Structure 1
Amino acid sequence: MSTILKCISPVDGSVYLERETASSEAIDAALAKANAAQKDWARKTVAERAKICTAFVEAFQGEADRHAEELAWQMGRPIRYGKGEVGGLVERATYMISVAEEALRDVQVGEKDGFTRYIKREPVGVVFTIAPWNFPYMTAVNSVIPALMAGNAVILKHATQTLGCAERFADAFAAAGLPDGLFQALHLSHQDAADIIGSGQVNYVSFTGSVRGGSEIEKAASGHFLGTGLELGGKDPAYVRADADIDQAVDGLVDGAMFNSGQSCCGIERIYVHESVYDAFVDGAAKLVSGYKLGSPLDEETTLGPVVNAKAANFVRQQIKDAVAAGARALVSVADFPADDGEGSYLAPQVLVDVDHSMSVMTEESFGPVVGIMKVSSDEEAVALMNDSEFGLTASIWTKDLAKAVELGDQINTGTFFMNRCDYLDPALAWTGVKNTGRGCSLSKLGYEALTRPKSYHLKHA
């Protein structure tokens, strides 16, 4: 039975988009079409696939202004930053296309008299991508383009909050001339998605979302012997050492904490600062955050838009309230951000000090424009605190000492380790996580491994 999905805009609370979920008949037809189309696509050369995927990138990029405005309405990102997500999609897609030939090349295992031996990388079949709302284009492209480049078909489900984004993918692939059935966007309920995973008609699931969502994906996949890639929660830390460039650290970490209203899986959510530079860093961070402009994302002057909805905003407000009640100090005056009425989705940014790990704001994912800053007395203390988390997506150290950064990075339980930067995905590097952040790998040449299966050829000469 179909239901109506509604995208409620955080801009003004209006219904921005409505879509009917696909019927069971439509889902079955889409899966059958994907499986049939994939067989022909797998026989195409990598160069032939690259030509169409490159045309997709060009078509998508050509609608950058439209994408930026629609992102503002659907999930609240300031329009001045919307084209940045288009640029991120282009960067990641272009890189993954460029390395596909090498990544998908047969693996040679060495000569053996009387035999020819090698390992082929064959496509898994149909890839089911479930994308989130916070970076709806950049997260989806991490699997969509390499899946197609590897010879797979793709079914894409986007979050209800960004219903229109899956359709924009479909538009660009149609403009690029991708054969029918190889990419399909479906509007689905959670149960529909679970049914697809358990249908036996998909071979890999790529999911970006919550830990709870990842657990549901694993349940749906249990017993079906299909691969899963799960990028889940984060509570990413940073450490500012005594020798850091403080101005650089302030600029980088404030942006890492506040960009997209803090709604980034790899955003900075907790900062540890050496006591010798603590006051200077805190003063700089508080001053910079206080200068943000909170308002409608459709206003070119806005630097901080609303969070996704009032529920998310109120969760962060409660974290801040609880922390202050437990002894933390809030350094940013909410009164300086009149768009924040204390109830809705427009949420003033906040910097908290005198925090510790007994407070949820330092341990539980906030996903909003708030960051806690703790004073530490040594590298050892900082590393211990950085590792004191159920998550492990990225971690960042700010220092002028490269050797020391690598030494400390080796001790931190994380998927990506940064020095003097944060909150960025380099498509040449594997995107992965540890602990409750999930499992699997996307991007880089390694990202192709989960989207293919090895097939060994052991040929004895006559």
Structure 2
Amino acid sequence: MINYDKLYIGGRWTEPAKTELLEVRSPHDRSLVGLAAEATAPDVDRAVAAAREAFDEGPWPLMTPAERQEVVTRFRDLYAERAEEIADLTTAENGSARWFTGWTASALSQQTDAFLRAAAAMKWEEEMDRTDETAGRVLVRREPVGVVAAVIPWNAPHQSALVKMVPALLAGCTVVLKSSPENALVTLLLGEIFTEAGVPEGVVSVLPADRETSEYLISHPGIDKIAFTGSTRAGQTIASIAGRQLKRVSLELGGKSAAIVREDADLDALVEGLKFLSFANNAEACVAHTRILVHRSRYDEAVAKLKDLIESLTVGDPFAADTFIGPMVRADQQQRVRSYIETGIREGARLVTGGPEVPEGLEGGYYVKPTLFADVDNSMRIAQEEIFGPVLVVIPFDDDDQAVRIANDSPYGLGGGVWTADETRALEIARRIRTGTFSVNGAPFSLDAPFGGFKNSGIGREFGAVGLTQYIEYKTIAV
């Protein structure tokens, strides 16, 4: 059993204000994975004070960009050495299938490399070309935004953490990471790697905590910038707090992404692509393609193939080699997904496969059946609201214009895609969809490219050079 009985505050392992340890249990069988310290308001005060001092008085913001890059490079290498351990612990804590956590832990080195490339190419101070004869010399500096509160969800703990922490650190910021209780163990493990990498004292804190403590952190006067990944509802609360206090904020929120399947689509390629685009990480993913819009001429064929796909996915012990979908992370999340399935039935959608029952033999964990609905109207709740579980809805359309209207008829705008043999038409459609990311025939995204959403899917962007600029203030100096 793993035991983290101290919090990582300002680079030091520190006794928490709350003496009772948090029990972290497996969503597969409720067995005890480990015990962890849980942060409360006094711990937040200490972490913010350490971060504030490290930013205002410490060496980190004053180091050269190259020196900070050297430390982050060491962190990347040390992280890679522990990737298998991290993948195992993530699977144990949140139930993500081991194939997924293994892939994610390995891919995070590539994510960090993209930020390192962006930092190396960034012009941290430059003199502008003189075009105004009345002006003197003008220097433009890119400086760190300050103390960052990074608040992350449970579904992809290290990806969500490092996509904020790495660019913040490269920019010269100090960071207080607030993780969910479900991932207390694997996020506290990050403290060990940051220490070994040589991050100076005060620069990084890791605080597993509940929502009340999270709100205390983001409201803290010592915080300059909030970087959040999570639900749209929580993002709205954070945005309102940031607005009142004029804090910088970036929000990566929910989604209800649409995959448009034109009449000339390769349905076998579609099904293979949606296996990962729709169901990776137990379908507990904001960017999952969960609305499948199919041209009416291919509708029945597509529904049949999607049914075969879903029924082929092995659900069970997330450590098993053949498991594709593990349990939902908590009992309330399991009940949320099951209730949406019941809602779809009441709304009149056709249940093709799956259903609200717990899979047979898996009653001891938080499992749900992967479910497919057909004959769905886009106005139904199961087509408009983010379910955050393995539930797909299939909606027919008659032409490209109607498909675009349906895809855009959503409060969200995070992802989506089109499947077609006609690249020209694909790009025409892609340019009309109001989302931050969009793929043609399931093409993978570059980690150097910006990621984020339109509408209720968020504010700001992550990844690469654009993600790095989210942690930068611009200063103009006239000489």
- Name the TM-score, length of structure 2 as normaliser: 0.90
Counterparts in 2 of 1:110-125, with a 5 A limit?
110-111=129-130, 115-125=136-146
2:82 is matched with 63
Q: Does 1:436 align with 2:456?
A: yes
Say if 1:284 and 1:215 are closer, same or farther in 2 by CA, change over 3 A. same
Counterparts in 2 of 1:355-394, with a 5 A limit?
355-394=376-415
Q: Does 1:42 align with 2:61?
A: yes
Counterparts in 2 of 1:314-393, with a 5 A limit?
314-332=335-353, 337-341=359-363, 345-393=366-414
Contact 1:254 1:285 in 2 (8 A): no
User: Aligned-pair distance for 1:329?
Assistant: 2.3
User: Aligned-pair distance for 1:360?
Assistant: 1.6
Local SS of the residue matching 1:99: helix
1:149 is matched with 170
Task: Give the whole-Å Cα distance in 2 for the aligned partners of 1:336 and 1:279.
Answer: 27
Alignment partner for residue 11 of structure 1, among 28, 38, 47?
28
Counterparts in 2 of 1:14-413, with a 5 A limit?
14-38=31-55, 39-111=58-130, 115-332=136-353, 337-341=359-363, 345-413=366-434
Task: Give the whole-Å Cα distance in 1 for the aligned partners of 2:385 and 2:437.
Answer: 20
Query: CA-to-partner distance for each residue in 1:305-338, whole Å, 9 max, x for gaps?
Result: 1111232222222222232233322222569953
Say if 1:15 and 1:425 are closer, same or farther in 2 by CA, change over 3 A. farther
Local SS of the residue matching 2:208: coil
Task: Give the whole-Å Cα distance in 2 for the aligned partners of 1:48 and 1:399.
Answer: 47
User: Aligned-pair distance for 1:218?
Assistant: 2.3
2:466 is matched with 446
Contact 1:7 1:74 in 2 (8 A): yes
Task: Give the whole-Å Cα distance in 2 for the aligned partners of 1:322 and 1:124.
Answer: 45
What is the identity, as a one-letter code, of the residue corresponding to 1:443? F
Contact 1:237 1:271 in 2 (8 A): yes
What is the identity, as a one-letter code, of the residue corresponding to 1:75? N
Return 271-280 or 362-371, whichever deviates more: 271-280
Aligned-residue Cα RMSD (Å) equals: 2.1
User: Aligned-pair distance for 1:340?
Assistant: 4.8
What is the identity, as a one-letter code, of the residue corresponding to 1:86? A
Local SS of the residue matching 1:115: coil
Matched length: 457
Task: Give the whole-Å Cα distance in 2 for the aligned partners of 1:17 and 1:216.
Answer: 31
What is the identity, as a one-letter code, of the residue corresponding to 2:418? I
Say if 1:322 and 1:30 are closer, same or farther in 2 by CA, change over 3 A. closer
User: Aligned-pair distance for 1:24?
Assistant: 4.2
Contact 1:129 1:140 in 2 (8 A): yes
Local SS of the residue matching 2:177: strand
Local SS of the residue matching 1:441: coil
Local SS of the residue matching 1:223: helix
Say if 1:339 and 1:428 are closer, same or farther in 2 by CA, change over 3 A. farther
User: Aligned-pair distance for 1:16?
Assistant: 2.9
Local SS of the residue matching 1:179: coil
Task: Give the whole-Å Cα distance in 2 for the aligned partners of 1:449 and 1:37.
Answer: 21
Return 289-298 or 274-283, whichever deviates more: 274-283
User: Aligned-pair distance for 1:282?
Assistant: 1.8
Contact 2:40 2:213 in 1 (8 A): no
User: Aligned-pair distance for 1:161?
Assistant: 1.1
Question: For structure 1, which runs of at least 5 residues remain unmatched after alignment?
Answer: none
Contact 2:97 2:282 in 1 (8 A): no
Return 174-183 or 191-200, whichever deviates more: 191-200
User: Aligned-pair distance for 1:254?
Assistant: 2.9
Query: CA-to-partner distance for each residue in 1:118-164, whole Å, 9 max, x for gaps?
Result: 21000011111011111111111111100000111111011111112
Contact 1:313 1:344 in 2 (8 A): no
Query: CA-to-partner distance for each residue in 1:59-80, whole Å, 9 max, x for gaps?
Result: 1111122111111111101123
User: Aligned-pair distance for 1:380?
Assistant: 1.0
Task: Give the whole-Å Cα distance in 2 for the aligned partners of 1:225 and 1:344.
Answer: 43
User: Aligned-pair distance for 1:165?
Assistant: 2.5
Contact 1:107 1:118 in 2 (8 A): yes
User: Aligned-pair distance for 1:4?
Assistant: 5.0
Task: Give the whole-Å Cα distance in 1 for the aligned partners of 2:286 and 2:339.
Answer: 20
Query: CA-to-partner distance for each residue in 1:243-293, whole Å, 9 max, x for gaps?
Result: 222211111123211111110010011100112222322222211211111
Task: Give the whole-Å Cα distance in 2 for the aligned partners of 1:336 and 1:124.
Answer: 47
User: Aligned-pair distance for 1:219?
Assistant: 3.4
Question: For structure 2, which runs of at least 5 residues remain unmatched after alignment?
Answer: 1-16
